[in-house]
Structure 1
Amino acid sequence: MATAPAIAEYTAPAARTARSAVWVLIGASLALKGAGFAWDFLGYYVGDGLGYGTTAAGAALTAFGVGWCVGLASAGVLTDRLGQRTALTILMGLSSLACFALALAQSFPALLVVSFLLGLTMEVHRPAVSATINAAIDSKAGRTRAQSWLYWSSNVGIAICAAAGGYLAHHQGYRGLFVVNGLACLAFALVARRVLAPQPAVDANDTATTYRQVFADPSVRWITLAALCGMTCAWGLVSVLPLLMTSDGLPPTSYGVAMLANTITVLILTPPLTRLLVGDGETPKYPLAPILATGCAILGLGIGLAALQHTTLGYAIAAALLVPGEIAFSIGLGAYISTHAPEGATGRYQAVISGSQAAASLPPLGVALALDAGGRPLVAGLLVCSALIAVAACRPLARSLTKPVPSAA
């Protein structure tokens, strides 16, 4: 791969400094997701806060999901081309502007545009942080552990956001939440600017890997399918559960209890399960495909069980049972990025994985139709079938991982 000469002030950071930057960015990612109120409460704000109703809220969430997929693809290119520091600074600055715009938008057309822009920028930090991990940590197991902690930080942050956001919205209003989200994005950009060293840019004419070449790798296609179907079950925690609990007439505090049960279980189980599945050595202890398949199976079982509950206790138990699946799923995806993504293309590979997870935010919008058409057994059956597809995709994924990654043409 040919690259442009490094800028004059660029010097490679020491290994310890680079690893410290990784953990700072993982912690900043947790804080960013914990303040991610713009996405978590977009539907509530459009449908209830501004009085446009559930159909308009669904349209806004769909616009967000489409923007999310497009934004991740762009973030992967910018990360691989401009470097993590520059990409994070630009992208998180744009994300903050989208949050502030949401606090000001009033008309429905403006809300649709802002929702798309919000999705376009909300998750753009993930490719750059993953590329930083792969660049800073030498061992495959070390990268896998760090990638799994990145996914863990997102899961915990989302749970904190959902649990705290309702209380804050009730006392401070939605617009205040969106302003806080925008400030969190700005803070993340400043942190990235502070802890990451300037990096040499890649010549646009000699970029290492295009998305066409990424998808020429058969393992990308199979892990994309597994990530999409597995994440459809995982997203059920923040999309399906509120709908089901509302149909039971349970108050928002009950949802908070379920999310608290999930968060506490994540905090307790993540360290021991990470050690068990990854190990403490230089290479991962187990192949990633069986770990990913196990995680998807547990996610399907947990969210299928949740769909059949009617009490706060039942939902809380189901939310806790999802956790081992969340952890194994995250470790499997993290291991793929840390062991299989080629140098110089980590941003694009992570963008594809994250993009499939973004697409998984769209199917739950049809849960209401399934609930009306066939009731809870149909909802549970559809979610379990999604998990089974993910598990089935892990077998050809395992075979494809033994083949060399297609080289850039």
Structure 2
Amino acid sequence: MPYAIRARRAVRETVSGLPREFWWLWTSTLVNRLGAFVATFMALYLTLDRGYSATYAGVVAALHGLGGVISSIGGGVLTDRLGRRPTLLIAQASTAVSVALLAFVRDPVAIAGVAFLVGMASNASRPAVQAMMADIVRPEDRVRAFSLNYWAINLGFAVSSMAAGFIAEVSYRAGFLIEAGMTMVCAVLVFLRLPESRPEQTAGTGEGGGTAGSSPGGPVSLGTVLRDGRFMGVVGLSFLVALIFQQGSVGLPVAMGAAGFSPAEYGLAIAVNGVLIVVLQIPVTRFIEHRDPRRLLVLSSVLAGYGFGLTAFAGSVWVIALTVCVWTLAEIVNAPTQTSLVVRLSPAHGRGRYQGMYTMSWSVAALVAPLLSGFVIDRFGAEWLWGACAVLGTVAGVGYGVLMRRLPQEKPAPAGPDVGVRPQPEVGAG
């Protein structure tokens, strides 16, 4: 009983103090991820249901990823120019329409083209979501907010993956239409419940003290972001870390298959990742929330690299599952800490572009990782891939340690649930 009381208190303290707008945004994220059918079953749809080759399925997946790379920057620019709310509306409505269209197109060229559009539309909302969270949540609560959002993403994806398997047995088209409907629900939530949160340009560089590449209150362009040396260094390190984490879905199944493990055994091992994130994200966040982000990023980078590196010595599915536990812990720490760091290094009126550039590092890693891991495994063997992960993790850890010296201090925002949100009475019910 005392444990249950402590658990309830921990949950209450974790979710308390965040603004109402955050929870509508969180709900939108959860609903969106609950309908994530395309990302999970695109390859099976093309090969099993439509009868296309694995090569064609790979091309379509690459085009889907390429669309995400392009829209990372485009979504960031729109987030700053049009505002967070219009960008979310456009991105989510476009995703719903393109996913619904994908359920009906049959020509292979048309399928590839629509998949590219789905990739663009679905990824365009990410900079807006992250920028809006930074706008409406107090600086001291941002790690907790980003962690809760990451938890919603993984919870929604875990549930949708299980449900999608049953839906696919009945009808792939039904799966696409369900995703389209749920994404449109997200768009409606945004329209009815979320006011615009974009700061006025005169607001300066934000709580973190600004960045090297921008002037207080001045305009922020993509050139400004690219000239911001420290931030682009963080983007580069983020790319290395993303390459490591991508191996859980691209390098690990290939290596396990080559070693004689069955798909079911891979499914068992990788399921540990989702379960641990859902179970541990909140308690781990309570532990790291007010700790030094530099140390957290150094630790999580090294832990990720060596977590995958240990896979070289794993001879059973249970030992592989233990290595998954190691790099999953790194993922739980890294994701909210790194997103919060991006906010800290970006000016308030340029958050969209900065978040877009950061999102692009993960999108590019998702494109590069399959090619890189396949080449290394075919040419040198899986052991070299896991060794490379350990090296990349070490490099990223050292890089974070160097780049984050003399990090600007955040100034706590005034207390109150509506920090950063400009009231707009014409938007739905409050």
What TM-score does the superposition give when structure 1 sets the normalisation length? 0.83
- Pairing 1:368–2:368 present: no
> For the structure 1 residues 308 and 361, does the alpha-carbon distance in structure 2 shift closer, same or farther, using more than 3 Å as the test?
farther
Give the one of 383, 388, 391 matched to 2:397. 391
Query: Is 1:182 paired with 2:184?
Result: no
Do the aligned partners of residues 342 and 161 (structure 1) sit closer, same or farther apart at CA in structure 2, a change above 3 Å counting? same
Q: Aligned-pair distance for 1:134?
A: 1.8
Which residue of structure 1 lines up, in the alignment, with residue 321 of structure 2?
316
> What does residue range 153-232 of structure 1 map to in structure 2 within 5 Å?
153-169=152-168, 171-198=169-196, 208-232=219-243
Q: Which deviates further from its counterpart, 20-29 or 69-78?
A: 20-29
Question: Relative to structure 2, which stretch is displaced further, 314-323 or 160-169?
Answer: 160-169
1:239-278 mapped onto 2 (5 Å cutoff)? 239-248=250-259, 250-278=261-289
Write out aligned runs for 1:24-39 (5 A): 24-39=24-39
Q: Residue 363 of structure 2: SS of its match in structure 1? A: helix
TM-score by length of 2: 0.80
CA contact (8 A) 1:244 1:307 kept: no
What SS class does the counterpart of residue 105 from structure 1 fall into?
coil
1:379 alignment partner in structure 2: 385
1:43 aligned onto 2:43: yes
Given the superposition, is the C-alpha separation of residues 317 and 293 from structure 1 closer, same or farther in structure 2, using an over 3 Å criterion? same
CA gap 1:293/1:107 in 2 versus in 1, 3 angstroms: farther
**1-structure distance, mates of 2:137, 2:176:** 35
Q: Distance in 2 between matches of 1:311 and 1:166?
A: 26
- Confirm or deny: 8 A CA contact 2:76 2:354 kept in the other structure: yes
Q: Could you give the per-residue CA deviations for residues 97-152 of structure 1, whole angstroms, max 9, x where no partner exists?
A: 221122223232222212211111112222222222222123x2212221232233
2:139 pairs with 1:133? no
CA contact (8 A) 1:159 1:262 kept: no
- Which is further off, 25-34 or 228-237? 25-34
1:237 alignment partner, SS class: coil
Moved over 6 A (4+): 199-203
Letter in 1 for 2:386: A
Q: Which runs of 5+ in 1 are unaligned?
A: 1-15, 280-284, 405-409
Q: CA RMSD in A?
A: 2.8
Cα distance between partner residues in 2 of 1:262 and 1:200: 35
| Superimposed CA distance per residue, residues 300-322 of structure 1 (whole angstroms, 9 cap, x where no aligned partner) | 22233346546443333332222
Secondary structure of residue in 1 paired with 2:126: helix
Count of matched residue pairs: 379
Cα shift at 1:372: 2.1
What do residues 154-181 of structure 1 show as CA deviations (whole Å, max 9, x unaligned)?
3443444445433432x22433222222
Partner deviation per Cα, 1:174-221 (whole Å, 9 max, x = no partner)? 332222221221111111112112568989xx9931111012111221
Instruction: State the partner residue of 1:12.
Output: none
Q: Amino acid of the residue matched to residue 166 of structure 1?
A: G
Deviates more, 1:301-310 or 1:366-375: 301-310
Q: Deviations over 1:227-278 (max 9, x none)?
A: 1111112222233333334445555443443343222211232222212212
SS for the counterpart of 2:249 is helix
Which residue of the other structure, out of 333, 337, 359, is the alignment partner of 2:338? 333
Alignment-derived partner of residue 417 in structure 2? none
Indicate the larger mover: 364-373 or 113-122.
364-373
Indicate if the aligned counterparts of 2:69 and 2:364 stay in contact, CA closer than 8 A: yes
- The 3 A distance-change label for structure 1 pair 131 and 236 is same
Distance 2:27 2:253 in 1: 27
Q: Structure 1's 278 and 131: CA in aligned 2 closer, same or farther, altered over 3 A?
A: same
- Per-residue deviation at 1:355? 1.0
Q: State the AA in 2 paired with 1:86.
A: P
Amino acid at match of 1:348: R
Please tell me whether the aligned partners of residues 224 and 353 of structure 1 are also in contact (alpha carbons under 8 angstroms): yes
Judge conservation of contact 1:80–1:202 (CA < 8 Å) in 2: no
Structure 1 94/17 Cα, relative in aligned 2: closer, same or farther at 3 Å?
farther
Q: 1:291 to 1:123 in 2, by over 3 A?
A: same
Partner Cα separation in structure 2 for residue 26 and residue 200 of structure 1: 18
**Structure 2 residues without counterparts, runs of 5 or longer:** 1-15, 202-216, 411-430
Conserved 8 A contact 1:152-1:330: no
Residue 298 in structure 1 maps to residue 322 in structure 2: no
